[in-house]
Structure 1
Amino acid sequence: MKTYFHNKKITSMLGIVPSFVSYFDDEVNNYTFPPKQTMMLKKIMGFNKHHLSKPDSSVADFAIFGLQYMLKNKWILKDEIGAIVVVTVCPDFFMPHISNIVQSSLNLSNEVICLDIAQGCSGFLVGLMQCFMFLEHLNDKKVVLINGDVLSHKVSKQDRNDFPLIGDGTTITVIENTKDNEQINTKIYYELYMDGSRADALRIPAGGFKMPSTPETAKMYDVGDGNLRALDHLHMEGSAVFSFVQQEVPPLVQSLLHHTNKTLENFDVFLFHQPNKFMLQKLSQKIGIDSEKIPMNLVENYGNLSGACIPMVALHNFKDELKNKIFKTLLCAFGSGLSWCAMDFELGNLEYCEILEADL
């Protein structure tokens, strides 16, 4: 899909991560591999530390904590909220939806639209698309976009391929229609693609209606490469995902440049999904992006935060500058689904932006 949006802007961004931090050096003995061999991954993949939530913490807990902070500090008022869009692959329950839980917990009006979207790595851009469409019908109301996952609950601690990578966290983004005479480019170009035929490259086999979780699906087993996991656990086929990213993302970026009549030099920064440092380095080299313009440091500080990666990498690297500067950004996400998408977007002059740690 190729399309344009007009007259939309982000006004505030908040990141919330759990206060507990686990260090890669302390996890080395979790694995069956020799420690020296495992430590080689630290430099190659960019592993260092990741924020992990408590076993009973959920995305709704992070979302409510963050929105309460925003309301208390008047980042947004209750009567300004026209819709809540939650994008996650970690629902609190099959029913009710997280957006409804948030609406109820904060005592918001029953006129507030509540919508949950099941999407992982591309969740921020998919969520923005939905928010933009809602804003066409909400006049002066604002939309609250919540991107969050607690995927560490679904990863084996004895799986060296997946566990060091995953982090937990949630971002809350406030989106609204632009006003007349604002110094921001109001034309937003957007491309989105999906390919379910390759969906098994990122999956959690058990836990849904097709294969409910049972004592059998919880049994740990050696998958053949020294890593231990169960059918209840997340697994990423690293080579398949790497090939997919290298194959699909460079043409996507070139297509966006073609349709916007721009070059890579026209952008101040490239905010990409953060799978791991190695994959981003290879991808940026293939596209031809100046390494100084594409942050690759989220995994080493927080872990891969799934759909919250793009707003968190923006906050982590440019939190102070975002308040008084406009960045010409190329946003790009790719992963579960499989899905890949990109957006030409001007981000900046934010009213508020901050990262919080929560005891969750």
Structure 2
Amino acid sequence: MGLHARIQAIEYVLPTNTLTNEDLAREYPQWDVEKIFGKTGIHTRHVVDAGQCASDLAFGACEKLFKNSSIGREQIDFLILCTQSPDYALPATACVLQDRLGLPVTCGAFDFNQGCSGFIYGLGIAKGLIESGQACNVLLVTAETYSKYIHPGDKSVRTLFGDAAAATLVSAVKGDAPFLDRFRYGTDGSGADNLIVPMGGHRQPVMRSTAPIEHTDSSGNVRTDAHLYMNGPAIFEFSMSRVPQLFSSLFGENCRVDDIDFFVFHQANKFMLEALRRRLHIPTEKFVAEFSHCGNTVSSTIPIALKEHHAKGYLREGHKVVAVGFGVGYSWGGCVIHW
């Protein structure tokens, strides 16, 4: 019997401000409430205040985890923060969060910028730290404020994305077999331009003397190069191609599709998830959809879905879950979770 990494607790927080389908329908008269929900599967998104950052949401999720679990902050050996909307270019937001949470100074901490597959990558890193003997308790935090990147006139992404943070405790537990298993990853940077904020880094800095220029695409969406751009058809095509390949690679002699209790994919939107479910022949009752109340929260969608499904009594100890993340990068990853 050896030490294996296991998910011990998950908590998440959403900003108090909401953006409902009714709000959007008032701004975009050509889209009514039913049409928005029919396309996205989302009723409500939560968005941060102007002065609220990813670390504020991350702090709230971590404090909630400490309050509702038996772990003490002094027991955390490593803090991993996945975010594409950090507080600063430098230092790492994880370092700021370590101090704010009062974690030990012996605690390792770093950011990684991964997006929709970030939770899977984070679990893989946490597993590596624990099972190599470098840590016993890893706090994996996913926090995103995509609303800061979205132009108010761009309904193509404004209807989809919401802000959120999730805190997941991964700990060393004795066991005969892994609790986090069969990790698979993939990357295709040729698709980077299809989900991107072009300006803001050193490749295309935002100059104080020149404001980014607004432009309108053929669908009437308004944005600048300092805002989020998503090529929806290209992202859909990528997902329909890569996710089935990843899905197939997760199974083998000792792991069959029929053995899996639930499938938790990145909660992108209703249209894409339903297309994937049908393509992969996954029964509806095993396919988790827990995003109508918060939208696509990027790296936090999978932990939020896990937490919600467990809180509702569906996901119980001993269940096997296949988790799959995919999107911006392009990047994708999957694993098997023994709950």
Does structure 1 residue 27 correspond to structure 2 residue 27? no
Residue 152 of structure 2 aligns with which residue? Answer: 157
- Alignment match, 1:329: 321
What is the TM-score with the length of structure 1 in the denominator? 0.87
- Kept in 2, the 8 Å contact 1:6–1:186? The answer is no
Deviations 1:84-125 (A, max 9, x none): 000110110011111111111123222100111011000100
Q: Deviations over 1:161-183 (max 9, x none)?
A: 100101000000000111247xx
Distance 1:159 1:220 in 2: 11
Query: Structure 1 pair 228/345, CA: closer, same or farther in 2 (3 Å)?
Result: same
- Equivalent residue number for residue 196 of structure 2: 203
For the structure 1 residues 269 and 27, does the alpha-carbon distance in structure 2 shift closer, same or farther, using more than 3 Å as the test? same
Identity fraction in percent = 26
CA–CA distance in 2 between the matches of 1:323 and 1:314?
8
State the one-letter code of the partner of 2:218.
G
C-alpha contact 2:150 2:227 (8 A) present in aligned 1: yes
Report how far residue 241 of structure 1 moved: 0.5
- Aligned counterpart, 2:35: 40
Match of 1:350 in 2: none
Secondary structure of the residue aligned to 1:13 is strand
Q: Which residue of 2 aligns with 1:304?
A: 296
Alignment correspondent of 1:166: 161
Counterpart Cα distance in 2 of 1:287 and 1:320 = 25
Matched, 1:285 2:285: no
After TM superposition, the score normalised by the length of structure 2 is 0.93
SS at match of 1:257: coil
> Using a 3 Å threshold, how does the CA distance of structure 1 residues 341 and 187 change in structure 2: closer, same or farther?
closer
Please report how far the alpha carbon of residue 44 of structure 1 lies from its aligned counterpart in structure 2 after TM superposition: 2.7
Post-superposition offset of 1:73: 4.9
Name which of 192, 214, 222 aligns with 2:216.
222
What is the DSSP-based 3-state SS (H/G/I as helix, E as strand, rest coil) of the residue aligned with 2:192? helix
Alpha-carbon distance in 2 for matches of 1:14, 1:186: 19
Q: Does 1:314 align with 2:310?
A: no
Q: Select the residue among 223, 232, 235 that pairs with 1:238.
A: 232
Deviations 1:53-82 (A, max 9, x none): 111111111122232333345532122110
- Cα deviation for residue 320 of structure 1 reads 4.7
Is 1:50 aligned to residue 50 of structure 2? no
User: Aligned partners of 1:324 and 1:313: how far apart in 2?
Assistant: 14
Gaps of 5+ in 1: 348-360
Q: Could you say what secondary structure the match of 1:301 adopts?
A: coil
**Match for residue 111 of structure 1?**
106
Equivalent of 2:251 in 246, 250, 257: 257
Give, in whole Å, the separation in 2 of the partners of 1:98 and 1:187: 27
Q: How far off its partner does 1:139 sit?
A: 6.0
Distance 2:245 2:229 in 1: 26
SS in 1 for 2:204: coil
Displacement, 1:204? 0.5
Range with greater deviation from structure 2 (75-84 or 265-274) = 75-84
Q: CA deviation at 1:47?
A: 3.0
Report the residue type matching 1:84 in the other structure: L
Structure 2 unmatched ranges of 5 or more? none
Kindly provide the amino acid, as one letter, of the partner of residue 321 in structure 2.
T
| CA distance 1:294–1:111, shift in 2 (3 Å) | same
CA distance in 2, matches of 1:195, 1:64: 32
Q: Which is worse superposed, 131-140 or 115-124?
A: 131-140
Give distance in 2, aligned partners of 1:170 and 1:121.
Answer: 13
CA 15–344 in structure 1, closer or farther in 2 if over 3 Å, else same:
same
Contact 2:309 2:315 in 1 (8 A): no
Could you tell me which residue of structure 1 aligns to residue 12 of structure 2? 15
Aligned mates of 1:137, 1:79 — CA distance in 2: 21
Aligned equivalents of 2:198, 2:211: Cα separation in 1: 9
CA contact (8 A) 1:80 1:142 kept: yes
Deviation at 1:296, TM superposition (A): 2.4
1:66 corresponds in structure 2 to 61
Letter in 1 for 2:141: I
Q: Equivalent residue for 1:358?
A: none
Q: Distance in 2 between matches of 1:209 and 1:140?
A: 35
Q: Does 1:124 align with 2:119?
A: yes
Which portions of structure 1, spanning 4 or more consecutive aligned residues, are displaced by more than 4 angstroms? 137-140
